Amino acid sequence: LKYAHGSRTEVRVRHRQKEITVEVSTDEVAAQPAVRGGSGRGLAGLRDRVDVLGGEFSADRRTDGGFLVRARIPAGSAS
């Protein structure tokens, strides 16, 4: 909502025996964010939390102009 207001957004969650994968993708980025504010930690904060759990994190622009955020977290962790 903050950065892709009005864009089609897709959320996928996969739970497998050894890992959980979460992907959030958007179509083209909107010209103006709909919501302002926040802690300023955003993607860096997400990356830090995934790292603490021993997972992998990526956030990149898609070739079609959208954006993709992906987190893979080992299942069965103490968290």
Question: What mean pLDDT value characterizes the chain?
Answer: 82
**In this predicted structure, what is the pLDDT of residue 55?**
96
Average pLDDT over residues 9-14: 93
Q: 16 is written with which tokens?
A: 């497998």
d(CA 44, CA 29): 19
More confident residue, 23 or 43: 23
What are the chain's domains? Answer: 9-74 (3.30.565.10)
Q: 20 is written with which tokens?
A: 């959980």
User: What are the contacts of 12-21 at 24+ separation with CB within 8 A?
Assistant: 15/75, 16/75, 17/75, 18/74, 18/75, 18/76, 19/55, 19/72, 19/73, 19/74, 19/75, 20/72, 20/73, 20/75, 21/70, 21/71, 21/72, 21/73
**In this predicted structure, what is the pLDDT of residue 48?**
93
Span 43-76, pLDDT tens digits: 888 999 999 999 999 999 888 888 899 999 999 7
Average pLDDT over residues 32-40: 56
**In this predicted structure, what is the pLDDT of residue 49?**
92
**In this predicted structure, what is the pLDDT of residue 2?**
59
